[in-house]
Structure 1
Amino acid sequence: MIKEADLSTEDVAQIKEYGLEVETVKKQLETFKEGIPKVELVSAANIGCGIQAFSEEEVELFSRKYEDSKLEIIKFIPASGAASRMFKALHQFLADYSPEDKSLSDFLVEEKSELLDCFFAEYKNFAFYDEVMQEIKDSVENYEALSEDEKHYAFVETLLKEEGLNYANLPKGLVPFHKYDSYYATAFEEHLVEAAKYASRNEKAKLHFTVTEDHLKKFKETFAAIQDRVEKETGVSFEVDYSFQKKTTDTIAVDFDNQPFRDDEGKILFRPGGHGALIENLNDIDADLIFIKNIDNVIKQEHLETISKYKKALAGELINVQEKIFEILNRIDKDGFNKHILAAANSLLEEKLSVKTTLENEEDVRNLLNRPIRICGMVENQGAPGGGPFWVKDGEGNTSLQIVEGAQMDTDNAEQYEIAQNASHFNPVDLVCSVRNYKGEKFNLTEYVNPKKGFITKKSKFGRNVKALELPGLWNGAMAYWNTIFVEVPVITFNPVKNVCDLLNENHQV
């Protein structure tokens, strides 16, 4: 255990002033020293063993079930990510290249960067091209007299730098992703249009974006600028709400000796706890069904019918399973517990929830059925980095379906590495969640988190090495004790933008 001496009186005062619990910080320090055990993979989930595959008839059936429901719907989009990572290679380009010293073609040959080659070959096809060119005309003197290499450099400079369009400091959600005939659409706008297709009720759609405080004003300004047009085009009115990652979910940072990392004034450094902290924000949402999707996973609008169809089908299957759970729990309240209810509960757990255990009594049934439910779309593995669906064994020997990130796996273990390599499916973050119990009461989602499934990462601060603790991921450890259903969805539902050239992929080009 951590000794009190590790934290001085001044440290304790700083922790309390920051809004954190001292005991919580001590546990975090203990976690750094002990490390976080790797997840024990039993096997990859696949079709017929942990992952369902809907037939066309089931897609239609479940979609209609969702459409006929009267449930309150909201779409929840984590959107605090900055665009700086998208443009990382271009930042480096500005730092390394000078058109006065070398031709661009020679520079690209030396760099051997596929991303830079792609960017300069097709930069006119980006949705932001016209806006950048207009800014250049307004602000760059004698632009037409510049050499072609100087023009390319000016384009990147105008795109990224503060005195230009300052895209590097925009939230990713407000970068123009798609160009249409008379306007361009940001990822933020595309989420509105998408919500109108499958997450609206009575021509109204509710969306909740988690953003940083610095970006809130920009999001509100963008919504005000596009609201009338988007509502006319979709025939849906939008209620848009925002929240910030709570400061009370920040975690202490340590040096490589696992001692509190301190700034030049001796103050402890605290860092945001990662997207797992958003379980607190999700817990504040009041709705019957919550769709969750990442801000950068959008598609040009011509494919929205396919996206919408599968979103509705996922929601319909969730409602279908939820009704069966509620029926069992209500029967217990009304008629008492009996062997018929026990048989029905065991059948449901095996057939729909992939729970590998046998219930024996009323307490078991209530404990395992009366939980939040999530249904997660899974796409065929395309080699993208990130998490996937696996059967996992916990410390008590229980096996369950979980979404596991690469950082959680013991890839130094040959057996575990082989299981990871054989994964057939990938997690695109495509969730529908039910957060009310059979009595209509909201679950406290923080009670269903596995606190031991966080991440320890290595960062730098003030030019020094630092270790950071990320809370259990929102769809990983933060939902570890939810009832879980995995369903295969088409690959077209997964179109993330991790670097700027991803916007040149077919599903982003209009």
Structure 2
Amino acid sequence: MLTQKDIEQIESRGTSRESVESQIERFKKGFPWMKIAAPATPGRGILVLDEAQQDEAAAYCDTARIEGKSKFVPASGAASRMFKDIFAGLAVLESGEDVAKDSPVYRLASSIRSFAFWDEDLFGTPEDTREYRLKAASTLLKPEGLGYGSKPKGVLKFHRYADGRTRTAFAEHLVEGQEYMRNSDGSVNLTFTISPEHRELFEEALGAVKEDFEKEYGVRYNISFTCQDKATDTVAVDNDNNPFRKDDGSLLFRPAGHGALIYNLDKVDDELVSIKNIDNVANERLLGITAKFKKVLMGKCLQLRDSIFSFLSQIDSLEDPASEEGAELCSRIEEFLDRELCITMPEAGDPVERIALLRDKLDRPMRVCGMVRNQGEPGGGPFIVIGKDGSTNLQILESVQINPDDPEAVGMLKNATHFNPVDIVCCLHDYKGNKFNLTDHVDEEAGFISSKSFQGRELKALELPGLWNGAMSDWNTQFVEVPLETFNPVKVVLDLLRPAHQG
């Protein structure tokens, strides 16, 4: 199936023949469906904190010992999907026809002055004509205008302020970072995952604001740009599960989804890391509520860390696991795991095995994930899942991981009360201060296969276990409800007209 030329191509990418053959085999056998015990809901799986509990968690964040903290922002995607509907409307306009009044292009042109990227010298005076709609869409998307159709979301102008200043999504993350991720020495560490071809654009975006922001907010920014390793790309196959070949006969490799970013996260040295997508930023007037609940999540994660570290210390100082003291400690740990993390343990054969199983469950990376009330937005949701060893734990699942032919599973998906806005805080060090090897905690069985196309030809693509799905499958997880006001994604350009993105 693989030729010598294929093998040379594979090895030149830093991948192995065995890895590619394993990927092709995965296409053939697929991935197992996740086994759901129940959706995570308030009372069982999702913590709903009252104001006093929120204040307690935020205060804990301010006083707890932390070996450095930083913000991790997935930002590698181009904005092409953000403008998909505008591209479609532009094609209609270029054909000589007009678009309907309820179409995205019509709404774009009629509201053009409300966007931060509006510039009269570029867009001209708005008119209710087909010609102006053509001009507005062309100016926005094409290289001779703003060229937003081929740029990454991070460098697009998202917000305009009363003084006329505009900010990109990238700049807003710097503003957010200084508010709640400041280290004791006044530094703010941020890591952005980007595509190599976009590095210059991000460097320009940083240069445009770094000095001004450092003066305005009294901080020092440490910014890192990291790229997804080409070695994590996966081979594509055709509908018969044979390697997909380009016109020149070479294999087609594709980025393996955000799951590949676990390797980038693994390179972050800081203990406490906040994860938030590049497009989920609001106008600065919402910074207060955003920062408050980010500190709540950080406080809850640090409380969880300290509880787990205390149990691990007690286990390691225990002289006899079979003693009454050992049994009492095991019972307290099991009650903690069930109450805080929805973990129910499998039966253990003897006291030594019991304590070893509990230690293994405790000694792993941990995360606290903000969850918002279901509003019909696309994305994964929080569930209690049955693992391979029979124990239960909390997981974020995507709909593609749930068997559509299982009425019970589909019913639980429909009855989920919350969904995942990707507002996550992680603790990445063990209780002895060493970094966890994050790749040791990936569930390789939690990826999925998607349908794509290349130059008009259908293909199947392999997505690695998602960063907040299978890549964090073996982490200790806690879900906390956060307000909808903290979730303001920009999936399509018209989302920028929502109140959270306006002055």
- Paired residue for 2:121? 134
Deviation for aligned residue 1:8:
2.4
- The alignment status of 1:168 with 2:149, answered yes or no, reads yes
- Paired residue for 1:122? 111
Counterpart among 157, 160, 169 of residue 179 in structure 1: 160
- Paired residue for 1:431? 424
Counterpart among 433, 439, 444 of residue 437 in structure 2: 444
What's the TM-score, normalizing by structure 1? 0.93
Question: CA 1:55/1:136 → structure 2, altered by over 3 Å: closer, same or farther?
Answer: closer
**Correspondence 1:114-263 to 2 at 5 A:** 115-130=104-119, 133-136=120-123, 148-180=129-161, 181-202=163-184, 203-263=186-246
> Secondary structure at the residue paired with 1:188?
helix
- Paired residue for 2:333? 345
- Paired residue for 2:24? 29
- Paired residue for 1:140? none
Distance in 1 (alpha carbons) for counterparts of 2:106 and 2:448: 35
Distance in 1 (alpha carbons) for counterparts of 2:196 and 2:6: 26
**Correspondence 1:296-375 to 2 at 5 A:** 296-336=279-319, 337=321, 338-357=326-345, 361-375=354-368
> Secondary structure at the residue paired with 1:423?
coil
Deviation for aligned residue 1:423:
0.6
> Secondary structure at the residue paired with 2:270?
coil
41-50 vs 474-483, which deviates more? 41-50
State the aligned residue count. Answer: 490
Distance in 2 (alpha carbons) for counterparts of 1:134 and 1:233: 30
Q: Is the 8 A contact 1:328 1:344 kept in 2?
A: no
- Paired residue for 1:271? 254
328-337 vs 206-215, which deviates more? 328-337
The one-letter code of the counterpart of 1:275 is H
- The alignment status of 1:399 with 2:421, answered yes or no, reads no
Deviation for aligned residue 1:117:
4.0
Deviation for aligned residue 1:152:
2.8
Deviation for aligned residue 1:260:
0.6
Distance in 1 (alpha carbons) for counterparts of 2:483 and 2:128: 46
Q: Is the 8 A contact 1:277 1:471 kept in 2?
A: yes
Deviation for aligned residue 1:98:
4.2
> Secondary structure at the residue paired with 2:240?
coil
Distance in 2 (alpha carbons) for counterparts of 1:330 and 1:393: 28
442-451 vs 86-95, which deviates more? 86-95
Deviation for aligned residue 1:396:
4.3
Distance in 2 (alpha carbons) for counterparts of 1:480 and 1:429: 15
In the TM superposition, what whole-angstrom CA distance separates every residue of 1:66-96 from its partner, at most 9, and x where no partner exists?
Answer: 1112411000000001111111111112211
- The alignment status of 1:73 with 2:69, answered yes or no, reads yes
> Secondary structure at the residue paired with 1:345?
helix
- Paired residue for 1:286? 269
Q: Is the 8 A contact 2:315 2:359 kept in 1?
A: no
**Correspondence 1:18-97 to 2 at 5 A:** 18-71=13-66, 72-97=68-93
The one-letter code of the counterpart of 1:160 is L
38-47 vs 492-501, which deviates more? 38-47
The one-letter code of the counterpart of 1:46 is T
Taking every aligned residue pair, what percent have the same amino acid on both sides?
43
In the TM superposition, what whole-angstrom CA distance separates every residue of 1:193-251 from its partner, at most 9, and x where no partner exists?
Answer: 11111111132211000000011111111111111222233222211111000111111
Q: What runs of 5+ residues in structure 2 fail to find an aligned partner? A: none
In the TM superposition, what whole-angstrom CA distance separates every residue of 1:178-203 from its partner, at most 9, and x where no partner exists?
Answer: 10123111110111111111111132
Q: What runs of 5+ residues in structure 1 fail to find an aligned partner? A: 1-5, 138-142
Distance in 1 (alpha carbons) for counterparts of 2:387 and 2:318: 35
Distance in 2 (alpha carbons) for counterparts of 1:116 and 1:222: 27
Distance in 1 (alpha carbons) for counterparts of 2:90 and 2:11: 43
Distance in 2 (alpha carbons) for counterparts of 1:207 and 1:319: 20
268-277 vs 12-21, which deviates more? 12-21
- Paired residue for 1:3? none
Deviation for aligned residue 1:29:
0.7
Q: Is the 8 A contact 2:345 2:390 kept in 1?
A: no
Distance in 1 (alpha carbons) for counterparts of 2:64 and 2:406: 47
The one-letter code of the counterpart of 2:312 is L
Deviation for aligned residue 1:147:
8.4
In the TM superposition, what whole-angstrom CA distance separates every residue of 1:354-386 from its partner, at most 9, and x where no partner exists?
Answer: 212267522112110000001000000000011
RMSD: 1.8
